[in-house]
């Protein structure tokens, strides 16, 4: 499982002109599910996201997590995070999970974040989405549950 965390001042997702999710300060989380992902992969991504200390404390140091600041999450599914562009110019998406598996793990991630009492908004799985954000910093973190980077 892969995730791109973007520290934002605000972010929103629109589908067909309607806002489906919108947050203030927190993380925009782009989430990609890989073939063979399991509960351990999900637990790693959720734990790392909730605990990632990249928000500034009173001294201006990146020392606080999204939960520490009372921030929110906007979770957007993005299978293209599993694209392999090492060969040629057209990426291969053969490592991405099937839509059924992707939806299952995406929905479980959303549920886990909500169970942690982190305000969580979403995009629409498999929809053509327009994502707007004000990246704060910019601060962007890459997570991979199989720790390949």
Catalytic residue among 6, 27, 55, 78: 78
What's the topology of domain 2-144?
Answer: 3.50.80
* pLDDT, tens digit, 9 for 90 and up, residues 28-65: 999 999 999 999 999 999 999 999 999 999 999 999 99
CA separation for the pair 63, 59 (Å, rounded): 9
Q: Is 80 a catalytic residue?
A: yes
Tell me what pLDDT residue 148 has: 76
DSSP state of 90: S
Tell me what pLDDT residue 97 has: 96
Q: Is 67 a catalytic residue?
A: no
Tell me what pLDDT residue 147 has: 87
Q: Is 78 a catalytic residue?
A: yes
Contact between residue 52 and residue 66 where contact means Cβ atoms under 8 Å apart: yes
CA separation for the pair 102, 58 (Å, rounded): 39
Catalytic residue among 79, 113, 120, 122: 79
- Nearest to residue 11, comparing CAs of 123, 122, 118, 133? 133
Q: Quickly list DSSP for the chain.
A: -EEEEEEEEEEEEEETTEEEEEESSEEEEEEE-BTT--HHHHHHHHHHHHH---EE-TTS-EEE-TTTTT-EEEEEE-GGGG-B-SSSSS-B-TTBPPHHHHHHHHHHHHHHHHHTT--EEE--TTS-EEEEEEEEEEEEEEEETT---
The pTM (predicted TM-score) of the whole model is 0.95
- Nearest to residue 77, comparing CAs of 114, 26, 131? 131
Using DSSP bridges, classify how beta strands 72-77 and 26-32 pair: parallel, antiparallel or unpaired: parallel
Tell me what pLDDT residue 2 has: 97
Question: Domain locations in the chain?
Answer: 2-144
Which residue numbers in the chain have pLDDT < 50?
Answer: none
């Amino acid at each position: 499982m892969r995730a791109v965390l973007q520290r934002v001042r605000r972010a929103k997702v629109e589908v067909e002109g309607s806002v489906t999710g919108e947050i203030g300060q927190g993380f925009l989380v782009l989430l990609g599910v890989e073939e063979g992902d399991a509960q351990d992969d999900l637990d790693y991504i959720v734990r790392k996201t909730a605990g990632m200390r990249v928000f500034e404390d009173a001294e201006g140091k990146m020392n606080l997590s999204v939960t520490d600041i009372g921030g929110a999450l906007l979770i957007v599914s993005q299978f293209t995070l599993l694209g392999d562009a090492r060969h040629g110019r057209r990426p291969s998406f053969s490592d991405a999970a099937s839509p059924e598996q992707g939806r299952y793990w995406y929905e479980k991630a959303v549920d886990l974040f909500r169970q942690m009492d982190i305000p969580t908004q979403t995009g629409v799985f498999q929809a053509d989405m327009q994502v707007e954000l004000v990246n704060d910093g910019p601060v962007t973190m890459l997570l991979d549950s199989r720790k390949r980077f």
